[in-house]
A and B are shown apart, each in its own frame.
Chain A
Amino acid sequence: MIAELGHYALVLALCVALAQSIVPLAGAQKGDPALMATAKPAAYAQFLLVALAFGCLIHAFVVSDFTVENVVRNSHSQKPMLYKVSGAWGNHEGSMVLWSLILALFGASVAAFGRNLPPGLKARTLSIQAMIGVAFLAFIVFTSNPFERVLPPPPDGQDLNPLLQDPGLAFHPPLLYVGYVGFSIVFAFAMAALIEGRVDAAWARWVRPWTLAAWASLTAGIALGSWWAYYELGWGGWWFWDPVENASFMPWLVGAALLHSAIVAEKRDALKTWTILLAILAFALSLIGTFLVRSGILTSVHAFAVDPQRGVFILAIIVVAIGGSLALYAWRAPMLKGGGLFQPISREGALVLNNLLLATATATVFIGTLYPLFLEALGGAKVSVGPPFFNATFVPLMVPLLLAVSFGPLLGWKRADLAGALQRLRAALVLSVAAIVVTLWMDHGRNLIAAAAIGLAAWLFFGAWVEWAERVKLFRAPWATVWERAVNLPRAAWGMTIAHAGVGLMVLGITGSTAWQSESIKMMRPGERFDLAGYTFVFKGTERREGPNFFATRGVFEVYKGERLYATMTPEKRLFPVAGTTTTEASIRTNILADLYLTIGDPEGGGQPGSPGAPAFIVMAGSDTPWTVRAYHNPLVPWIWLGSLVMVLGAGVSLTDRRHRVGAPRRMAAPGAMPAAAE
């Protein structure tokens, strides 16, 4: 009964979305306020209906209603509650409902918070948003109904893919989707602006918080996914240039470009058509990301819904949405009037450089991801493009970008003085050189590139604070004044400084883990020991453990630093009998500066995945059997995620800037404390 209610709510939501996509738009074209005003209640209704459907789906998973096929295929009565709930979106149908829910949530948020929006722009934006809603709700209702019943119901479910039964991954899809779907609202704003033929500073200011929110969620989602890959897949790596990782990375790169170009559009009324194009591309790449994952066009561990039928439907959505928007762009964009002119060396110039490099980087990732398919289209062999390609193309593009980051905020609008900026950055320069020297000394001068990369990280981190220090008059005014200026500094300026510093921390983590990772793979008998990176690992033996829905073999290791016991580490190998698969649970010991990372593999000669139902492989190994043990020492690796977190924090702080809350006056009066450098 509840499942039918959910299904019914989805159909109703589809109808509401259909009305919302037509009526307000028609009202805006005719200038009819009554028709335009329907957008708001419709957006609320659509959200409530999809929320109801999503609630029904969660309910079915929570009570393990095995008359619902989706629950049978993705849940099990013995599963911990968290994974019962997250199982609701750990599958194709449920994840599409979540997608629609977030889509409707963004629509409802614009309806709720968009009080200062011009009514025409608001009505058009909500209509465009509803069109996307129609596409996805129709997709669910016609091809992917999550409430399909099975009769007679089986006694128990087939369990969720054990790799996905993890707290990190329970929240990875929702965050990622908030990011992907967040770009839909930016896209809707761009379409509405194209229809109106007007893009101005107010428009850019309206788009920016949504872009920030979407981009911050995407950052968090990608970071969480990468962290999960790090501790769950058991390879000690954190980024694999896997097609699906790339699919989420491309909208992120374009979103980062959009964040920066929107500043130029807002402050200088320039780069307008480019900003619109980025808004379209950010959402296009989000859709293509979905398409790549859902259609099975690229196979990878992530592609959990390989189904050409659905692929055709999503392709149709992409063709209509992106083809349509790009056609509208080709038609209307030339009519948009360009704004302020600027010299190449200027704040605008720096942001254009940022955009060019980010766009090129996106194109690089795009080609690397799709090249294998292109080659096949031309009759070539199946190939895969791996990390060497991306390291050779993506990394060289990032270096000039990251070098330029510290300059950008110090350059004035219109025309600026590069030498003057460098002069002001000398403190950062000195600290970076110091970082390089210290690194070379600690590394005994072995790895020059890594030392340079550490210098780059320092340059980013300290460079970010230079502009901040100037604005709060650090060391140049009494502390009380500094404090007061810091408090009064616009949140957007704070946000930028924090986010840029976060990039520096991330570069630090990437460099450390890439350059100085040490690894050891051994066959070990209980009682044996080995050394890695100054630590001694002693294998005490294995023990068996029973979890709620798995059996585990746990290796017990004592780690010594010199004579002192530093840690006891217990990596596990888990067998999920219902799903018939095993997972690796790495044991990670971190001290923020480095991770010790340990996994245990199979006992010698026991390489089989174990027969379902019988935990035979666990019992098999005798006490003297050698086990495969992998150990890694990953210096600085936690900073990859801490850096991402700091970037998210920066975006969050920027979101609280008062100019996003205060209406959208033509030109905001600058608060007293804002120094000249900002404008």
Chain B
Amino acid sequence: MKRALYFLPLAAFFALAGYFGWGLTRDPSKIPSALIDRPIPEFALPELAGAGRPALSTAAIKGEVALVNVFASWCLPCKVEHPIFMRLARERVVPIHGISYKDKAEDSRRWLADLGNPYTAIGWDFDGRVAIDWGVYGVPETFVVDRTGTIRFKHVGPITPEILDRQILPLVERLRRAS
């Protein structure tokens, strides 16, 4: 009995090690959004002056499966994912709505002029208030919203071709077929 006591630290350690091993398979950047399967927040953002796109509001998003992308000109990863959105826009795969986050209008405008503008509508969220309602954690963030205006998917960080092909595009297809 007394001997068994000396095995206790070992047993406790193995339980812990097993748990660490499991923990390693988790991706720390995956933050489950409380907004998944919830309707998009009620909001109405002004247009991004001079970008030549309509303003963005709750009503503008509803009615069609769409992506909502939060971006800023000061955000380097946004630049990384931008060509993917350009391709999606060129091939007319799915409408992409943009939210310009905490960015001066002329900076956002210049950025879009330089890199191309893939967005169907753009809301200018200068103080970041609306982004809070969207649960934005860092830029860039991308949401997939279905026809009824329900958030179905959220990704924090730049979209990679892999995430696009494996997760976003299949989901968009599925949402389109459903009803």
- Chain A positions within 8 Å of B, measured between CB atoms, are 273, 277, 280-281, 284, 291, 295-299, 303, 306, 308, 311-312, 315, 318-319, 322-323, 326-327, 329-330, 333-334, 373-374, 376-377, 381-382, 580, 605, 607-612, 616
Contacts and interface: CB of A to CB of B under 8 A. Distances in A.
Given A291-B20, A322-B13, A608-B102, 15 more contacts: A295-B24, A297-B23, A297-B24, A297-B26, A308-B25, A323-B10, A323-B17, A326-B9, A333-B6, A334-B2, A580-B74, A608-B72, A608-B103, A608-B104, A610-B74
Interface in B1-42: 2-3, 6-7, 9-10, 13-14, 17, 19-26, 28-29, 31-32
B161 to A, nearest CB: 21
Contacts of A273: 6
A333 B24 CA distance: 32
Contacts of B31: 382
A382 B32 contact: yes
18 contacts: A281-B9, A295-B24, A297-B23, A306-B28, A312-B24, A315-B21, A323-B10, A323-B13, A323-B14, A326-B10, A327-B10, A329-B6, A330-B10, A376-B26, A382-B32, A605-B126, A607-B127, A608-B102
Given A323-B14, A326-B10, A608-B104, A315 B74 contact: no
B32 A284 contact: no
Contacts of A284: 13
A178 B7 CA distance: 30
B20 A297 contact: yes
A661 B29 CA distance: 52
A609 B6 CA distance: 55
B133 interface: no
B76 interface: yes
Contact of A315 (B7, B17, B28, B32): B17
Contacts of B104: 608, 616
Interface in B66-117: 72-74, 76, 102-104, 107
Interface of B: 2-3, 6-7, 9-10, 13-14, 17, 19-26, 28-29, 31-32, 72-74, 76, 102-104, 107, 126-128
B19 A374 contact: yes
Contacts of A326: 9-10, 13
Contacts of B128: 607
B16 to A, nearest CB: 8
A329 B10 contact: yes
Contacts of A374: 19
A330 B9 contact: yes
Contacts of B17: 315, 318-319, 322-323
Contacts of A312: 24
Given A297-B28, A611-B107, A277 B9 contact: yes
Contacts of B2: 334
A605 B105 CA distance: 13
B105 to A, nearest CB: 12
A616 to B, nearest CB: 8
The 8 A-B residue pairs with the shortest CB-CB distance in the complex, in nearest-first order: A326-B10, A299-B28, A611-B74, A330-B7, A608-B102, A297-B23, A330-B6, A311-B24
A381 B25 CA distance: 17
Given A312-B24, A608-B103, A580 B19 contact: no
A303 B23 CA distance: 15
Contacts of A610: 74
B71 to A, nearest CB: 12
A146 B10 CA distance: 35
A612 B75 CA distance: 9
B74 A608 contact: yes
Contact of A605 (B3, B14, B72, B127): B127
